[in-house]
Amino acid sequence: MNTRNKITLLLAIFNAVMVLVFGGSVYYFLQNYSYTDFYKRLDTRASIAARYHFESDTTDANNLKALRQEHLEMLDGEREYVLSISAIDSIPALARRNDLPEILLRKTLVSGKERFNSGNTFYSAIRQDSNGVVHLVVVSANNYYDSHHQVLLRNIIGVGLVFTLFLGIGIAVYFSKHVYDPIRQIIDKVNQISTNNIHLRVDDYEKDGEINTLIHTFNGLLDRMETTFETHKNFISNASHEISTPLTSIIGEADVALIKDRSGAEYKEALTNILQQAERLRQITESLLFLAQTGYKENKLVLELLRTDELVWESIKIMDKLIPGHQIKFDLNLLPENPVKLKIMGNKQLLLLAITNLLTNACKYSANKPVTISVGSTNSSIIVLITDKGIGIPEEEMKFIYDPFFRASNTKLYDGYGIGMPLTRNIVKIHKGTLVVTSTVHVGTSVQITLPLAILS
């Protein structure tokens, strides 16, 4: 059973139970009340009858009789009996003669006042002793209400019940359909989206509400999926381009060298060029391999206790070899006084690689302008900030900087393959840190690495 039918059924059952309880209780209490009420009316008549038969003098009796006829309506089949009981034995005969139930007479003799009903006929009896003789005053009538009104009420409630039941089912069906409308719409729309038209999005349904939150969640998911697809597409095209460029020059160089016989010096030059390109090819494949490894080798990482400031000094030493004459300044202004707050658990080689990568970028894209690397520490993490005054990254390209082989549009003049940033991010990620890049074109870029502090026991 699907959810829609379940909702319909639940609503219908709920509705039926409510109506049934309501109708049933109305019927039950009204019936109870009708019995009590009818007996009370009979009681009044019986007591008035008793009074004008036995208690009062003749004038009063006539008055009472007149009053009764004037103000108390004649009930359906109302009859009045005045019986004098001479002996207990005469009761069955009396009962038979007057067509009265014997048990009523017996009970009244004992209790003095009794109510009784057989079928639709109701009785009220009073015992009255006068002048040493025991009398019984009995008033009987048919319960008109019970026979007519009750049936009418039963019919009304019955018909109403069936009617409301059907109405309830109808509303439940409509309601469940209406509630599930937007969800069906979303399902239809999402089903339309495939790899070919992943740019499609689900339209907003209403101003706000849970459905809209769901739609936004879906759209967010689609956004991320689209980016991933794009990255994959870009990766393949960029990777093949990067690899084919040196290959083309190797082939071209070899081709040209083989066209005719050449001198040893010329062959040497051609081979040197080929070697250079092959070296470049090796670098690309190596860094690709490294990128792939840092992507999934999280568990096999060997961690050791490191001091962040030492890491920075060492990477500056590496930079001395890579870019002689760089202007990197280690800013110690916010270095914590307590060396414990500098210790992190990490893989030295990988972290050095990440920091030198960022420093190389900072120097390269700022044409060797001053670069500052600062270290500070909170109570839970180390913050390393690398700031340059370089060309910056265009704002709309910021989201691509971690894509392998992506190079910003303003980097045409600089050498590189676009592996550094994704590699650095992978390294920071496997150290459970975060990387925040802030950049403004022509102003500069700053990269903030946050790494968790080592927990020292």
Partner 1 sequence: MPDTILVPTDFQVESLNTVKLTLEQTSTLIYIVLVYPMYPSGSITDLLFYSPGKLIRQSVSEEFTSALEILKNRFESRLGGIRTELFHGSTNNAFKNFIEGQGITHIAIPKTYVLKTGKDSFNLLPFIKRCGTPCTMLDWPPFQHHLTPSQQLQTLFI
Residue 291 CB, nearest distance to partner 1 (Å)? 25
E strands along 279-350, which residues? 304-307, 328-331, 343-346
Residue 231 or residue 377: which is nearer to partner 1 going by CB? 377
Residue 381 CB, nearest distance to partner 1 (Å)? 8
d(CA 318, CA 311): 11
Residue 443 CB, nearest distance to partner 1 (Å)? 5
Do 421 and 365 meet the contact criterion of CB atoms below 8 Å apart?
A: no
CA distances from 203 to 155, 191, 206 (A): 52, 14, 9
Residue 442 CB, nearest distance to partner 1 (Å)? 10
Q: Provide the token pair at 69.
A: 């006829």
Do 387 and 368 meet the contact criterion of CB atoms below 8 Å apart?
A: no
- Specify the amino acid at residue 444: G
Residue 126 or residue 373: which is nearer to partner 1 going by CB? 373
Residue 450 CB, nearest distance to partner 1 (Å)? 8
Residue 439 CB, nearest distance to partner 1 (Å)? 7
Do 165 and 16 meet the contact criterion of CB atoms below 8 Å apart?
A: yes
DSSP state of 369: -
Residue 88 or residue 436: which is nearer to partner 1 going by CB? 436
Cα angle, residue 179 at apex, residues 176 and 184 outer, rounded to 5°: 100
Residue 66 or residue 436: which is nearer to partner 1 going by CB? 436
Residue 387 CB, nearest distance to partner 1 (Å)? 7
Residue 342 CB, nearest distance to partner 1 (Å)? 9
- Specify the amino acid at residue 218: F
Residue 239 or residue 371: which is nearer to partner 1 going by CB? 371
Residue 377 or residue 426: which is nearer to partner 1 going by CB? 377
Residue 202 or residue 447: which is nearer to partner 1 going by CB? 447
What HEC string does 314-326 produce?
HHHHHHHHHCCCC
Residue 338 CB, nearest distance to partner 1 (Å)? 6
- Specify the amino acid at residue 52: Y
Binding site residues, partner 1, CB under 8 A: 331, 333-338, 341, 372, 374, 376-379, 381, 383, 385, 387, 436, 438-440, 443-444, 446, 448
Q: Tokens 């080929």 — which residue?
A: 274
Number of residues that make up the chain? 457
Residue 192 or residue 440: which is nearer to partner 1 going by CB? 440
Do 329 and 386 meet the contact criterion of CB atoms below 8 Å apart?
A: no
Residue 447 CB, nearest distance to partner 1 (Å)? 9
d(CA 310, CA 453): 15
Residue 238 or residue 374: which is nearer to partner 1 going by CB? 374
Q: How far is CA 73 from the centre of its chain?
A: 67
Residue 104 or residue 344: which is nearer to partner 1 going by CB? 344
Residue 438 CB, nearest distance to partner 1 (Å)? 5
d(CA 364, CA 413): 10
Q: Provide the token pair at 3.
A: 């959810």
Q: Provide the token pair at 140.
A: 């009987």
Residue 41 or residue 341: which is nearer to partner 1 going by CB? 341
Residue 103 or residue 340: which is nearer to partner 1 going by CB? 340
Do 150 and 34 meet the contact criterion of CB atoms below 8 Å apart?
A: yes
d(CA 371, CA 141): 113
Q: Tokens 């990067």 — which residue?
A: 242
Do 399 and 227 meet the contact criterion of CB atoms below 8 Å apart?
A: yes
Q: Provide the token pair at 397.
A: 């390209």
d(CA 427, CA 297): 10
d(CA 307, CA 304): 10
Beta-sheet strand order (sheet of 79-85): 79-85, 133-142, 121-130, 113-118
Residue 389 CB, nearest distance to partner 1 (Å)? 10
